[in-house]
Structure 1
Amino acid sequence: MRRIRDHADRAAFAALFAHFAPRVKAFLIKSGAEPSVAEDCAQDVMVTVWRKAHLFDPARASVATWVFTIARNRRIDLLRRDRRPEPEALTWGPEPEPDQQAVVELQQESERLSAAIAALPEKQKVLIEQAYYGDLSHREIAEMTGLPLGTIKSRIRLALDRLRHAMG
């Protein structure tokens, strides 16, 4: 790996590729990837190893750890991409007028939700507002409030349960 990193040694990369590519593919298949996807992903991982070789630091990780970390991250990227919903088809022209009954029902439901949030214990209400109206992650809320992350998650879970029951 040092020869690849320091001298862009193609022969060293060929040896590294021969060793790691089949192992990365097997790792990806074991993690649930289809064989064809695992093959493409393994190729991509090895290209990344070649392109990012200058970032390899033997003091921080072994070659195997570094390569499999790249593989793991690439697998996560693929899973996220696969779960991303397709954008809705765009329609041309003006939007149709909403059904007045649906508008009234949505307004009533919004009012019920606002009342249910107002009825929450103050500690839960504040966290719900920060998470959903403030668009903050649980970790960001924990950092901001100084509360443990587990406490934040528990309070939000309890608050959501109360809201679920209040909304029927």
Structure 2
Amino acid sequence: MSFKRSRMARMASALGTILGALALVLTIPNSAFAAGCSGSGCDDHDPNIQTWQSGPVTNYTVQVGGSEFLELRWGKTDGDQYSWARLEYFSLAPDYHIMIERCNSSGTSCTTYLGYTKVGASGWTAKVAGSSNTYVTRTPMYYNPSTSKARACIVKSNGATTCTPYY
């Protein structure tokens, strides 16, 4: 009788392990998978793994230093528009953070610090192809429908903020 219980306990344990592993696989998003997007539910997604219907394009570029350029990027996926910030810089990462600011079309209500990302952050920074010393750091993407407007901003270590125009 105890052999039968021991065998049942091992089987139950094995089944629990399998179900736990399956649940883990289903709940952890695969970073190489570009999910379908719908509205603000896709806020904070990585724009580099998204499938785009149009774009991505740069709407505005602002020079924020000798070799530092802040871009407001835009793309359309699953019928919706999204924006994100990207800073291109030479060699060493400046002591900046980049972010998106999203406002209603009249500008009376804004959400700031969307995707607040340290320049040089792992996972959000890459070397520009064909360049030996030029890098870009980007923010996640944010829903930017025709009823709102967005802009890219940098926040320097001294608190000074520089932004692109709104799009």
Structure with more of its chain in strand, by fraction: 2
After TM superposition, the score normalised by the length of structure 2 is 0.19
Structure with more of its chain in helix, by fraction: 1
Q: Return the index of the structure with the highest Cα Rg.
A: 1
After TM superposition, the score normalised by the length of structure 1 is 0.19
